[in-house]
Amino acid sequence: MLEVWFTNIKRVGIPNYLVVALDDHIVDFCKSNGVPVYKRDPDEGVDSIAMTGGNHAVSGLKFRVLREFLQLGYSVLLSDIDIVFLQNPFHHLYRDSDVESMTDGHDNRTAYGFNDVFDEPAMGWARYAHTMRIWVYNSGFFYMRPTLPAIELLDRVAGRLSREPNSWDQAVFNEELHFPSHPGYDGLHAARRTMDYYLFMNSKVLFKTVRKDAKLKQLKPVIVHLNYHPDKFPRMKAVVEYYVNGKQDALEPFPDGSDW
């Protein structure tokens, strides 16, 4: 998967990329393929998670690593490796917010927010209560500027993940980004932007909607993130076959969702 990831980054001509490696095997693999790689100095907290932690625990390490780059004044576009790059994403960023993130939403309502009406008939005249809903930002692909709110977000998420070992980094990331100040809690004052879900596409959008629509199939996304499916590697290869090599039926063998 890492090889598919960096092969397509090279193909679309992105020079400013870096693999953050958690072990020496990945360092050697990257160097042998001419891929820029960075491995942190030994850190017991990071290294123990990298060697023995589960998927969510390892994923949570990104918030510690990112802080180093933001402190140096760099804006960072973070990417998981279950992502196929089809265009240069730096040409499609707005750079007007602290955090600019792809969404797990699959249409205008879920991606960009909607007014969801809660119905409680026992309240009579006041039975309808309006609520605001939005599907979560994906913590596997987001752009972060080196601002104080962005650095504070990283600190808050990393702090909670260390105190709440059973928590999921994506859930914590969204809670800290979206929950407002309220009694006993000071909210984060961070500006946020949701990326265009047809350009920064999750795999639910691709396999449930886009591949079945003649017009949408003509769009060329900037990236495709295989976040909704566990069979990531074969789907990544199919995305390359379809969008890069022009094989029109490459996406057809896969079900909309997963088998489990």
Distance in angstroms (rounded) separating the CA atoms of residues 149 and 147:
6
Which whole-number Å values give the CA distances from 54 to 42, 110, 140, 236, in the listed order? 20, 29, 16, 22
Is the per-residue pLDDT at 38 higher than 70? yes
pLDDT attached to residue 48? 60
Q: Are 173 and 75 in contact (CB under 8 A)?
A: no
β-bridge partners, 20:
38
pLDDT tens digits, residue range 168-227? 999 999 999 999 999 999 999 999 999 999 999 999 999 999 999 999 999 999 999 999
pLDDT attached to residue 50? 52
Is the per-residue pLDDT at 42 higher than 90? no
pLDDT attached to residue 162? 85
The three-state (H, E, C) secondary structure of the chain, written as one string = CHHHHHHHHHHCCCCCCCEEECCHHHHHHHHHCCCCEEECCCCHHHHHHHHHCCHHHHHCCHHHHHHHHHHCCCCEEEECCCEEECCCHHHCCCCCCCEEEEECCCCHHHHHCEEEEEECHHHHHHCEEEEEECCCEEEEEEEECCCHHHHHHHHHHHHHHHHCCCCCHHHHHHHHHHCCCECCECCCCCCEEECCCCCEEEHHHHHHHHHHCCCHHHCCCCEEECCCCCCHHHHHHHHHHHHCCCCCCCCCCCCCCCCC
Is the per-residue pLDDT at 36 higher than 90? yes
The average pLDDT across 110-134 equals 97
Distance in angstroms (rounded) separating the CA atoms of residues 64 and 53:
15
Whole-prediction pTM value?
Answer: 0.92
pLDDT attached to residue 17? 97
Give me the residue label for tokens 């629509």: 213
Mean pLDDT of the chain: 94
